[in-house]
Amino acid sequence: MFWIGAFWREDEPESIAQSGAPAPSAGAPGGNWPVKGLVLTLAAILPWPFYAHHLDARSAAQVAFAYTKPIPVQGWQPSTTFTDWRPQFNRATLEWQQAYRRDQRAVGVFVAYYHTQQQGAELHNSQNVMVPQKHPIWRKAGESARPLNLGGETVMATQTLLRSDTQRLLVWDWNRIGRRHTNNFYWDKTRLALNKVLGMRDDGTAIVLYTPYEGDPRQAAALLEAFVADMSPAIDVSLDQTAQSTK
């Protein structure tokens, strides 16, 4: 029971303190509330003993994976990096980072993929952040929620403004649990546990997009929105192929 309490308590994300915007809450599917309530109640009661045992019994050995890079579309082409910033994600199964350019404008993609959820090596962890506190170069200038259309569903991504002495970045991040985009801490935890109990995929991915901006970040946001529409399906395909690539 102590382990289960720690499972929920330790990794709860920090609140959005600077912008006053509500914490991201979309990502859980809509539908009939009584049915949803029954599902979530069963999820809360049934999975945890099995899932706790499952996590504790995991081997620390790393599984070899080959990341299948997204196929560029709509004029986006791989490019050299434009920043030294990189988000912090602990003990991911694999990480991948790539810059893309179109019409002289650049967008970066960072992926942290967790094939399984293991204590200390899991998608939701308090150490997984866009920038650590007291970072010597980068600092957070603001944070809010940003609605995105992903696969026909609206997901409230987290929008972060980062700055250093020489550069400003607009950052959007959200998660992907199995084949579903989401950004809701409690729903993600429940879905991962329930997936495992039902014998489904319990892999999770943090997806981070970023682009430089000067002054007003709205033009940068329009660029990220275009990139999401163009490249998000290709990123989804690459993640599904990666999930099947255990050697």
Convert the pLDDT of each residue in 84-121 to its tens digit: 999 999 999 999 999 999 999 999 999 999 988 888 88
At residue 3, the pLDDT reads 42
Averaged pLDDT, 187-194: 82
Nearest CA to 4 among 130, 190, 182, 132? 190
Decide: 108 and 211 in contact? Cβ < 8 Å.
Answer: yes
Averaged pLDDT, 228-236: 96
Distance in angstroms (rounded) separating the CA atoms of residues 134 and 245:
38
Mean residue pLDDT of the chain comes to 81
Distance in angstroms (rounded) separating the CA atoms of residues 94 and 106:
23
Distance in angstroms (rounded) separating the CA atoms of residues 110 and 196:
26
Q: Which two tokens stand for residue 195?
A: 């997936």
At residue 68, the pLDDT reads 84
Decide: 220 and 105 in contact? Cβ < 8 Å.
Answer: no
Render pLDDT for 121-167 as a digit per residue (tens, 0 to 9).
899 889 999 999 999 999 999 999 999 999 889 999 999 999 999 99
Which of the two residues, 179 and 170, has the higher pLDDT score?
170
- pTM, two decimals, is 0.75
* AA identity, residue 175: N
Distance in angstroms (rounded) separating the CA atoms of residues 13 and 16:
9
Confidence of residue 179 (pLDDT cuts 50, 70, 90): confident
DSSP element (H, E) containing 41: helix 33-45
Render pLDDT for 1-21 as a digit per residue (tens, 0 to 9).
444 444 444 444 444 344 444
Decide: 36 and 164 in contact? Cβ < 8 Å.
Answer: no
User: For the ranges 58-67, 162-171, 238-247, which has the lowest average pLDDT?
Assistant: 58-67
% pLDDT > 90, the chain: 54
Distance in angstroms (rounded) separating the CA atoms of residues 173 and 158:
5
Cβ atoms within 10 Å, residue 149? 13
Nearest CA to 164 among 89, 97, 83, 99? 83
Averaged pLDDT, 231-244: 92
Decide: 86 and 111 in contact? Cβ < 8 Å.
Answer: no
At residue 8, the pLDDT reads 46
* AA identity, residue 76: W
Decide: 238 and 70 in contact? Cβ < 8 Å.
Answer: yes
